[in-house]
Structure 1
Amino acid sequence: MAEVEIVELYELHYSDLKLLSSGSSSTQELERLETVKTNIMEALGPKGPGLLSICGLTNASILRRNLLPLARNLALLNPDHRKRIFKEHNLGSDVSLKNPDRNVSSFAMQLRYVQGLESTQSNVSSRVGGLTDSDQDHVDVDVDKTRQLPDYEYKNLGNTFKELGFCMMELGLFLARICDRAIGGQELEQSLLESRTAKGRLIHYHSTLDNITLKEAVRKGGFSKKLDNHRRDREHCMKSEHVQTEHVNMDTNCHEVGFWGIHSNLWQQWHYDYGVFTVLTDPLFILSSYLPENKWEEQYAFSCDQECPSPSGHTYLQIFDPNKNRVRMVKSSPGSFIIQVGEAADILSKGKLRATLHCVRRPIKFENLSREIFVLFLQPAWNKTFSISDYPLDNCNLAGQCSGVPDAENHNSKLSEEIHKIIPQLSFRLKDGMTFAEFSRETTKQYYGGSGLQSNK
């Protein structure tokens, strides 16, 4: 069996992103920056993976470090307590948090571009500096003090959510401007500015232990105080003797599922994002275990949470590469940010950018590993009209098929066929003159209606 390929993303430094987007540089820099621009377009274009990473954002990385651990805390909160936190920080959710069988918990907020641009220009640097100092205090906070202030760890939740979102918004706008200049025109950047808003999502991908915890709470008729306060009792946790960080053979993992079982063992099902760009943080992983001395009915009320590096060394974001007709695992540098092309960018660029078909795989050998990530979705205004008169109709995204003739004996070809059975063809979802609102509505309908194969997305 061929090994599953790891794709190490093209890494763009934030300083080069700013220089290229500003259009001003010294004569000595012009040749180097032209090479950087070429590399960007190759990474995001039809022959590339459709995504790249951006490094060198120290302040944003601090915000990421403050925010991501809160995703799991929010997912396991007593619903009434969580509702109070939501109201205080203007958060909502686009998944049913009442469903104990859910694979993910998502906490969302709409972010306005005007606020974001003002923040990135004047307020973020000073604010991040303040968070850096307080972050040290948060890490070593006294347990008694925390008990006295039950919402202490969520004190800066709303502000941190917005500030990280604004930083990532800036990355997307800069990249859109660079792509526009390479393609010719201003349609990508203008389509984002006209939308005026972006959606931020703080996402917790559940471990097996998380799901058992939630089901146990439902079985008992509600969340106990022990479950609600489990993080405040972390000092009583014993370090798990079963923490595993060895490298995982992802080829083995993939083939354990088999190409007929691609709908299972995924945190998030195969799909295209239908906006312009999706900006993602490098994920944070948390490994949880219960105290062995707890009684059976209490063992999931207290858990020992340990942040850990990715067991396999990659992000567990998985893409399908139509050029190679195979699945590839995405690897990025710690603290970096990933930008991924959506279908709207593919359409607006006339196929010069390629939307990324992707999913998030659950690691088989690490049942109690959870994954925390913050995502920003940048999309056109709802009334943006799509014209496909000069879109390449033989583009694989429009047809919803991969190039090449499937080989019945080839595992990758069979996997490709199975993946594309659950992906509604773009040609069936998009008509000439359709607005982005109509396109998103039809896309949602076809993903979630009918066969229901996308129900765990």
Structure 2
Amino acid sequence: MSSCSSQPQTHVVQTVSISYTQLKDKGADLSAKIEEGFGPNGLGILSIADVPGYSSLRQNLLHLSPRLAGLSDDQKRDLEDPDSRYNFGWSHGKEKLESGKPDTLKGSFYANPVLDKPTSDPALIQRYPSYCGANIWPRSALPELEPAFKPLGKLILEVGMLLAYHCDLYAFQGMKMLEDDGLEQILRRSRCHKGRLLYYFPAKHSSCSQDGESMSSWCGWHTDHGSLTGLTRAMFKKDAVEISCPDNAAGLYVKSRSGQLVKVVYGEDEIAYQIGETTEILSRGRLCATPHCVRAPLGEAAFGVDRSTFALFMQPDCDTTKREYVKSSCRTAFCGNLRRLRINSQFRPCAYLFLLLAGFGNVLSNLFRHFYVSFSVFNLFTAFSNASTVPVIVRDEKLKFPEVVHIHQQLIPSRGSLTFGEYTEKLLDKYYHLKM
């Protein structure tokens, strides 16, 4: 019989928690808790407790996850969308692990919980397929999914908007800021929020591997590239019966600002929120994103155990409509500020440069492609470094980036600036196979 008694001791931290009653009070001063959870010395995560109706919505959706994964191959194939790089509908074995191998450990179902079809503009759909495509629901194979997915996604979005309001009060205190420039309004304008229902398949055999990859055995180390991510606590099942996690060392891990690996826990009836790289940039480092991963349970008790969870990725809109310019003096000023930020470059793939060169849409598209496609960037970076002005593509409802950041130069495209949507398509190339 195998034994995992040699597992290292786990440092466990409870998330900073804010009650829903406090959160919805716009007169409440939550800056201390926002700073504790999201600030430069925080873990980049906090949770909201006592949200009305949340517990039943969570149960309704997560119980459907094994049923979705258990549909026939033909039924799941009908839910796939290669044109969006499997970012709508069902995805399994398309994403790549840290090792570069296809990820067959989990399946995902993606949908926009607010808009079934964010736009009818064919140019935008072609340009930003991972955000502007249409939802694909299994209305015949699993009709319960859509009415369970949408309400939970909308509730997490609504609570996230309230949290974004208080984040703005903390991040921009003492600074001049137009109402439309804050995180809350940026997210309210967006059509591109994306929900992801995840199903981690049961282990086929027990494992006590303690190698370097075991910490991120269910989900590799990464930092969210968007603005704000809402998370349910995971549900574990064995033989279709809900159980507690069979391994105390398994779960969500984050890397603290000091480099310590910490397991983060929060209540079953709490919604956790994590900061993404975009918000870190827009807040000038006052709100910080944090690298995180998911560790699978080990040992005999983990055999046959599956895991279901749901994440809502809240992010700015992806399309852009006009061009502006940032003067070199601003660029120089921000370079000094950047050196004072506590940035772990290993987990800041590309967001800094692209978000400040452009609107949110092009930026993410370019990051996705970076990790699968090689291209020459030296000439553009040289021109960017020497230019007196830098072109910035933004929306009419533009994002107010502080100044230009020039790190991760290898991700700059050979020509032009980027929107967040294009940046998204490039980032997808790191985690998904290229479209044929």
Q: TM-score, normalised by structure 1?
A: 0.62
Counterpart pick for 1:47 among 30, 41, 48: 41
Q: What is the distance in 1 between the residues matched to 2:281 and 2:255?
A: 19
Task: Letter of the 2:364 partner, please give it.
Answer: S
Task: Letter of the 1:320 partner, please give it.
Answer: K
Counterpart pick for 2:283 among 349, 372, 382: 349
Counterpart residue number, 1:194: 189
Of 167-176 and 264-273, deviating more is 264-273
Distance 1:441 1:86, change over 3 A: closer
Task: Letter of the 1:433 partner, please give it.
Answer: L
Distance 1:42 1:393, change over 3 A: same
Counterpart pick for 1:38 among 26, 32, 35: 32
Counterpart pick for 1:394 among 339, 352, 362: 339
1:168 aligns with 2:156: yes
Counterpart residue number, 2:105: 103
Superposition RMSD in Å: 3.9
Counterpart residue number, 1:18: 24
* Kept after mapping to 1: 8 A contact 2:193/2:312: yes
Structure with the greater alpha carbon radius of gyration = 1
* Kept after mapping to 2: 8 A contact 1:61/1:335: yes
Q: What is the distance in 2 between the residues matched to 1:454 and 1:362?
A: 22
Counterpart residue number, 1:274: 225
Counterpart residue number, 1:377: 313
Distance 1:100 1:394, change over 3 A: closer
Question: How far is 1:428 from its partner?
Answer: 7.5
Distance 1:101 1:424, change over 3 A: closer
* Kept after mapping to 1: 8 A contact 2:171/2:283: yes
Question: How far is 1:170 from its partner?
Answer: 0.5
- Where in structure 2 are the equivalents of 1:282-431 lying within 5 Å? 282-287=233-238, 304-313=239-248, 316-322=251-257, 324-365=258-299, 366-383=302-319, 389=331, 390=334, 392-394=337-339, 398=343, 400=345, 420=346, 423=347, 425-426=349-350, 430=354
Q: What is the distance in 2 between the residues matched to 1:373 and 1:395?
A: 36
Question: How far is 1:431 from its partner?
Answer: 6.3
Q: What is the distance in 2 between the residues matched to 1:48 and 1:441?
A: 29
Distance 1:315 1:177, change over 3 A: farther
Distance 1:394 1:383, change over 3 A: farther
Cα offsets for 1:295-321 (capped at 9, x unmatched): xxxxxxxxx322101234577111011
SS of 2:13's partner is strand
Distance 1:263 1:454, change over 3 A: farther
Task: Letter of the 2:294 partner, please give it.
Answer: V
Q: What is the distance in 1 between the residues matched to 2:365 and 2:9?
A: 38
Counterpart residue number, 2:72: 78
Q: Where in structure 2 are there 5+ consecutive unaligned residues?
A: 1-6, 82-87, 96-100, 118-137, 375-427
Question: How far is 1:5 from its partner?
Answer: 1.2
Question: How far is 1:196 from its partner?
Answer: 2.4
Count of residues in correspondence between the two structures: 327
Q: TM-score, normalised by structure 2?
A: 0.65
* Kept after mapping to 2: 8 A contact 1:283/1:372: yes
Q: What is the distance in 1 between the residues matched to 2:72 and 2:92?
A: 16
Q: What is the distance in 2 between the residues matched to 1:97 and 1:363?
A: 23
Task: Letter of the 2:240 partner, please give it.
Answer: D
Question: How far is 1:191 from its partner?
Answer: 1.4
Q: What is the distance in 1 between the residues matched to 2:216 and 2:355?
A: 34
Q: What is the distance in 1 between the residues matched to 2:94 and 2:259?
A: 36
Q: What is the distance in 2 between the residues matched to 1:315 and 1:177?
A: 33
Q: What is the distance in 2 between the residues matched to 1:152 and 1:17?
A: 39
Counterpart pick for 2:55 among 61, 65, 68: 61
1:257 aligns with 2:245: no
- Whichever structure has more helix as a proportion of its residues is 1
Task: Letter of the 1:257 partner, please give it.
Answer: Q
Q: What is the distance in 1 between the residues matched to 2:105 and 2:144?
A: 26
Cα offsets for 1:145-183 (capped at 9, x unmatched): xxxxx9999443201100000000011111111111222
Task: Letter of the 2:290 partner, please give it.
Answer: T
* Kept after mapping to 1: 8 A contact 2:215/2:293: no
Distance 1:57 1:202, change over 3 A: same
Q: What is the distance in 1 between the residues matched to 2:110 and 2:23?
A: 27
Task: Letter of the 1:359 partner, please give it.
Answer: C
* Kept after mapping to 1: 8 A contact 2:349/2:367: no
Q: What is the distance in 2 between the residues matched to 1:312 and 1:364?
A: 6
* Kept after mapping to 2: 8 A contact 1:97/1:105: no
Q: What is the distance in 2 between the residues matched to 1:205 and 1:347?
A: 32
> What fraction of aligned residue pairs are identical, expressed as a percent?
28
Q: Where in structure 1 are there 5+ consecutive unaligned residues?
A: 24-32, 116-149, 213-241, 243-251, 288-303, 401-419
